[in-house]
Structure 1
Amino acid sequence: MPLIQITLSTPTPLPAAAVTALQRESTQLMQRILRKNPALTVSSVSQLPLAAFAADGEAVASAASLLATITAGTNSAAEKAEFIAAAAGMLGACIGPTTAPVYVALQELPATDWGYDGRSQAARRAGSQS
């Protein structure tokens, strides 16, 4: 049940179809590489004003980052590295050349510390084992 947050700053706002494509592709990467259920993968795209990102203290025309929250211990280091590389490629293709680094972060939370619809991941696991 990943939660994906993509943040972009580009010279012109992305059209709705491009935002939808980012959401779809990031969900597909989660499914293909990290074996996450796409029906439980939620993604959002925030578009910041031009030059809202800075690198080396200087505003940049285009930049992107992706933060995905997953349950700790559910993926190997190799899987996570593959996802980071693929997601960075996806973002780079979306925004084009940039002088800013394109960050991708996987935040792992213990199963007791997060969930959805009012139940933690740990509670869901315990319920499915009974």
Structure 2
Amino acid sequence: MKERMKILLSNNVITKESFESILLVIDYFNREWGLSESNEQYQMIMTHLVRATDRIKQGKEIQDGLDCDIYNEMESMSEFSFIKEINSYICGMMGLREVPETENSFFLFNITSLYEMRS
């Protein structure tokens, strides 16, 4: 996982600031949730997070958020308030003070997916 991030950095796909932050996030999820870096979905989520962070900081956020039905289903989960707390914590680690709702809907979806992968 860290090698993938190094490749993105060396090819100027992500910034050094986001690279350093995503390493902290990866370590957090590995340590706290016991996630495997070899899991393809986990790798995709971390890649999305680091790329979205740079997009947001550059003012180039996406226009459309997560499908409303999927979001409503996720929001009805009993764990949703916990997922929102973790999302806020992770956004802070990435240096994001304000996250557009469109991006945040996908962040919450990704955190939910990671939550379901925990060991």
TM-score normalised by structure 1 residue count: 0.37
More strand by share: 1
Q: Which has the higher contact order (CA 8 A, sep 6+)?
A: 2
More helix by share: 2
